[in-house]
Amino acid sequence: MSGLEIERKFLVKGEGYKQQAYSHSHIQQGYICSSHGRTVRVRIRDERGYLTIKGPSENGGLSRYEFEKEITLDEAEHLMQLCEPGIIDKTRWLVKSGSHTFEVDEFFGENEGLVMAEVELGAEDEAYEKPDFIGQEVTGDRRYYNSHLRKLPFAKWK
C-alpha cells in the first residue's frame, strides 16, 4: 500500500472500546530511522511483518505520504535488530463507528497508561461518527507520534 494517509488522532476515555471492538492484535514496532519528520518503521503485528516508510506530516499533522509493504516475519525480526533504541509495544483494538473503523492503541512498557485512537479518512474534511470513548483530539501533536513516544515515553512526561 502506498499513497497519502489522512488520519485524525484522539486520546481515549475509559475502557469501553474493548467491549465495542470486533478484533484486536499485538504490535511491536521499532524505527530504523526517525528524523526530520520522516520515518522508516519495522512492525510485527501478531505473526506478520511490515516495513513502512512515512514522509513528513502536512496540514497540521492531518496527512502524510505512506508506503507500506508486508515482509516475512523472519525479515521483520532481523530488521528489528537494526532499529534505534526503544520499541513500541501495544495492543490495537478495531472499533467500527458508522462507515469508519477506529484503531485504538493501548500502550505498554514505558508508555503504559496511554490509550489513543485514530481514524483514517479519504479526505481531510470527511465527516465521521465519533464513538463515545473518544476524548481530546491530538492530531498534529508530535508528542503522540509513535516515533516520539519511543524517544520520550509517556511515563517520563511531566
Of the residues 17, 22, 31, 65, only one is catalytic, namely 31
C-alpha cell at 144: 503522540
Instruction: Collect all residues with Cβ–Cβ distance below 8 Å to 145 and sequence separation of at least 6.
Output: none
- The C-alpha atoms of residue 44 and residue 72 are separated, in whole angstroms, by 9
How much is the pTM? 0.93
For residues 109-135, average pLDDT: 97
Which tens digit of pLDDT belongs to each residue from 22-79?
A: 999 999 999 999 988 899 999 999 999 999 999 998 888 889 999 999 999 999 999 9
Which tens digit of pLDDT belongs to each residue from 134-148?
A: 999 999 999 999 999
Our answer to whether residue 65 is catalytic in this structure is: no
